[in-house]
Structure 1
Amino acid sequence: MNNKALMATLCLVATAACSTQGQVDPDVMQIATTPLTCSNKAECELWWQRAQTWVASHSTYKIETANDSLIQTTGPDGGKRALAYQITRTANPDGTATIGFSAHCDGSLGCKPNPWQAGADFKQYVRGITGTAAGAPQGSATPSQHAPDTTHPETMPGKTTTLPNGEAMSQ
């Protein structure tokens, strides 16, 4: 196992050890933490287009930047639970590209939707996986989780958690 894979595994174990049981469905967590890596130029272009479509249809905030390597919304606005998004595309040496997902809000009661659920929905939509709430606009998805535990770091406003694949997930 190479160092990068070992670090990813250790981070995943550490994140899982800190999570509150029942807070986020384990299937949602697995989807949200799986790297989103396209395999060729055509697939990468399609996925990047889907990424922009997803953000445009799920964000309360306007898209502020949209270019070949960044899709970013405005926000978050003070005290609001709505998620602001930052999506990145990074070329890899082997010709693939990795699409990163970051979501955060500024609400004292946590974010709505939950950033883990939003990340899972985003990744499924970008990959073209159907049959889930992945393509549903924000607010119509029904996340399978308990109410946020405001004492847990993953649900505290402004707190950023780094996922095993290096992506930031914050509330």
Structure 2
Amino acid sequence: MSTIVAAIALLAGCSTTGQIAGETMEQATAPLTCTNKAECDAWWARAQVWVINHSEYKLQTVTDSIIQTDGPSGGKRALAYQITKTPSNEGTATVGFAAHCDNMLGCEPNPWKAGADFKQFVRGRPSQIGATASSNTLPPVSPAPASKPIPPAMPVQPMPPTLQNQPGQSGQSLTPE
């Protein structure tokens, strides 16, 4: 009987329900909308820096509208990321964030905390999770002139609609119960 209670306690401890502060949830779900081309370009550069510094998976696709890592795979707790940029007709753009792992017991870091951290970093505040101080350097707000030719972008992979703009993970519900 005590083994069953210990197993339930362990599973409950890995669940995301009830572990995320309201402030973190608010930050993770708040829209991330840049207001002009210079800001959008800077935010997109910061988004790529954040993903490179926080992902255990390699970058799979990087274009002017999507940043996507490999994964998730193999029952790992590591997050795979998919970042999207959707421009509007008014010259603004909305940056979407999705994070998933392939482990029923949960992801590390928690996708809601990663989403909040990502949005803070993109807006120009240092990252709070999983990166070293040296990797928190922010790209300049105005894009620097390119001194080297930029390699051609990798082909865009279609994005499953269930990943779009929502932190989440395989095998777990992220809605409070």
TM-score scaled by structure 2?
A: 0.66
Match of residue 73, structure 1, among 69, 73, 78: 69
Q: Which runs of 5 or more structure 2 residues have no equivalent in the other structure?
A: 1-15, 133-160, 170-177
Report the counterpart of residue 112 of structure 2 in structure 1. 116
Aligned-residue RMSD, C-alpha = 2.1
Same amino acid, percent of matched pairs? 60
What CA distance in whole angstroms lies between the structure 1 residues aligned with 2:104 and 2:86? Answer: 32
Give the number of aligned pairs: 126
Match of residue 133, structure 1, among 112, 122, 128: 128
Structure 2 counterpart SS, 1:103 = strand
Superposed CA offset, 1:69-124 (max 9, x none): 00000001120000000000000121100000000000121100000000000000
After superposing on structure 2, the runs of 4+ consecutive aligned residues of structure 1 that deviate more than 6 Å are none
1:47 aligns with 2:31: no
Structure 2 counterpart SS, 1:61 = coil
TM-score scaled by structure 1?
A: 0.68
More strand as a share of residues = 1
Higher RCO (CA-CA < 8 Å; seq separation 6+): 2
How is 1:1-171 mapped onto 2 (pairs within 5 angstroms)?
20=17, 22-130=18-126, 133=128, 136-137=130-131, 167-171=165-169
The higher radius of gyration belongs to 2
Deviation at 1:50, TM superposition (A): 0.2
Contact 1:63 1:72 in 2 (8 A): yes
Q: Which runs of 5 or more structure 1 residues have no equivalent in the other structure?
A: 1-18, 139-159
